[in-house]
Amino acid sequence: MIDRIFFAVLLPLPIIVAVAMLLYFARAWRSATPRLRRSHVLAGLWLGACAGILIYCRERIRGWTGVDFGTITVFMLGSAASLVLFGIGIGLIGIIGRSTRGSPLCPRCWYNMDGVDPQADGRTVCPECGSEVRSISDLMQRKRWPLLIAIAVTFQLAGQFAYQLIRADHGGAQNFVPTTVLIAGMFSLPADAIIGAPTPFDSATLSGRLANGRVAGWQKTWAIGKAIDAIARAEHPDAVSRASTILNRSRFEGEIPFEAWKSSVRLLCVSHSPGAGEAMAYLAECYVRARSTVDSSGRLSIASDPQRCAAELRELVPLLLERVSAATVRTPEWWGLLRLVALAGEHATPIVPMLEARVLAEDSEMGRANTAAVLAMLSVLIPDASEASLRAFGDLPGPEQPRVLNAISRFIRPSPDLLPSFRALAVCGEPVLEVAGATGLLGAKAERCEGATLLLLSLSRQIQVGQADLGVIYWQVARDPGDGASTMLIVFLKDLALNSTPMFRIEAMAHLSNIGRDFEQRSTEVLAFLDYVGSERNPEIAERARAMAVDVRTARSAPIPLRKVAIIR
């Protein structure tokens, strides 16, 4: 708050000094006395230099946040503000000056020259200091104190310096580099001066200032224009990486030509720079947002025009696959590349054996499980991924299998020869495997009601011991919200919300509210039920139900927020 107040106080200073500069230049132009004209010109030049310094300081303070407002910091900020305000006061006195009150005064020593006769050539000489005055108007003008103005500017600069000391201590000397300089050297300055960590406290790098709104509008426009030009040229991987990251941090939502995007992706696929991962994830998201429908299979998307996507991505698939094989599992780059490759249709088939091999090559349990789960997600888009995910599941150690089995049962459309295995799992007595077997049956269109029945039996047994995970119901409703199996699952949640322990009642209502919020065909039914529960006697349950009903109504009426990203055209 204090830094914002200080910025507001600092805002008019460059304007005041610039106006004073113009006044002195105007006085110099109107003055006929050489000495007075020279004095006014020098004062105007000095004020112009001071105005430039003040504008620089003001721009550097713009939007700066994250100060630790301890006692010392507050004292330094207060001292800096006091110096600036004192300088403003002195400057106003110096600019306003002293009125002549109708008496002719010497412009140099202010001697009253009333009664001094001009010489034969029209000049008037001050008897006190010997200054020559060639125009009577120079004797009648208001007398100002250039020395006071100089002192005022000195105090203002001292206040600026005191404030900048806090900034230097907080973020280092790089905070002093103007944003304009960083934009001009976007592709020539060191990378750590342009691209920083994606945190709200980064005020030293160009990406941090763009991401956190610490730049002027024209500076942001200039930076985005340079970034788009670099992507259009696609001359060097580092330049493309910096440009893509700048567009990402700036939340650019314009258009990128497809050929420029394609050339940039090709360069990033062979780049080894540290920032290439974020840049690749951003460019992949651009294409996915432009060429796919809403997410329908977890993190993956369905192409809105499969033939077009397959033709556009055919040449890039080998490079993308090589990049996927080197990317770290679960990073934004890895997911972005997978989403991009999945849109390539039949050309994306080679990713299946690559991921299947990576399941065995990964060192971490999380990496193996996530890679196998991605194979299950890909089965919705690539038929070969279904069998590969089952093989990968069999290759995993026993403790890692249940996590992958949930993904398999959620995304794979099982073939008829797998249905007996899922039925056996659904009644095996192990809670996790029972849920996985039942959800596997729910993946087959003709077996959804049987799968829902087995799932509800398993969950009922788990509820009796107080360890049921009701979240699996949401995902099975999401497969087909309008069919009879989904109706069975929703009725089970309603019964649980009315006739169970407080913990399961609240959890069941939470899942119902998620269903009503995300699936329009179930919204009216869920809202009516939540309104009914909101009128019961238990005040805690009733309050929760009313809050969830408000959340569903708000979500249904509000537009879906989309992440700002460029669109490929």
* For the chain, percent of residues with pLDDT exceeding 90: 9
- Read off the pLDDT of residues 404-415 as tens digits, 9 standing for 90 and up: 766 776 676 666
Burial 111-143 (b: 16+ CB within 10 A, else e): bebeebeeeeeeebbbeeeebebbbeebbebee
Q: Above 60 in pLDDT, residue 69?
A: no
Residue with tokens 């008897």: 127
Distance of CA 439 to the CA centre of its chain: 37
Mean pLDDT, range 337-345, rounded to an integer: 88
- Read off the pLDDT of residues 371-410 as tens digits, 9 standing for 90 and up: 888 887 887 778 778 778 777 777 777 676 666 766 776 6
Q: What is the mean pLDDT of the chain?
A: 78
Angle value at C-alpha 321, between 196 and 301, nearest 5 degrees: 80
Q: What is the pLDDT of residue 332?
A: 87
Map out the domains of the chain as residue ranges: 2-97+144-176, 349-411, 413-469, 470-563
> Are 216 and 59 spatial neighbours (Cβ–Cβ below 8 Å)?
yes
Q: What is the pLDDT of residue 173?
A: 62
Strand pairing category for 132-133 and 124-125: antiparallel
Burial 306-341 (b: 16+ CB within 10 A, else e): eeebbebbeebbeebbebbeebebeeebbbbbbbbb
- Read off the pLDDT of residues 349-362 as tens digits, 9 standing for 90 and up: 888 888 888 887 77
- Read off the pLDDT of residues 170-187 as tens digits, 9 standing for 90 and up: 555 676 678 888 899 889
Three-state DSSP class for residue 469 = coil
Mean pLDDT, range 146-160, rounded to an integer: 75
Q: Above 60 in pLDDT, residue 559?
A: no
- Read off the pLDDT of residues 185-234 as tens digits, 9 standing for 90 and up: 889 888 888 888 887 767 778 888 888 777 888 889 999 999 999 998 88
- Read off the pLDDT of residues 97-133 as tens digits, 9 standing for 90 and up: 665 565 676 766 756 666 565 555 556 777 667 666 6
Question: Which one, of 361, 414, 422, 359, lies nearest residue 391 by Cα?
Answer: 359
The C-alpha atoms of residue 549 and residue 535 are separated, in whole angstroms, by: 12
> Helix count (H) and strand count (E) of the chain?
28, 6
Q: What is the pLDDT of residue 339?
A: 87
Q: What is the pLDDT of residue 138?
A: 58
How much of the chain is helix, strand and coil, in % rounded to 5? 70, 5, 25
- Read off the pLDDT of residues 19-46 as tens digits, 9 standing for 90 and up: 878 887 887 787 766 666 777 777 777 6
- Read off the pLDDT of residues 466-501 as tens digits, 9 standing for 90 and up: 888 788 888 788 778 888 899 999 999 999 989 888
Q: Per-residue confidence at 297, pLDDT binned at 50, 70, 90?
A: very low
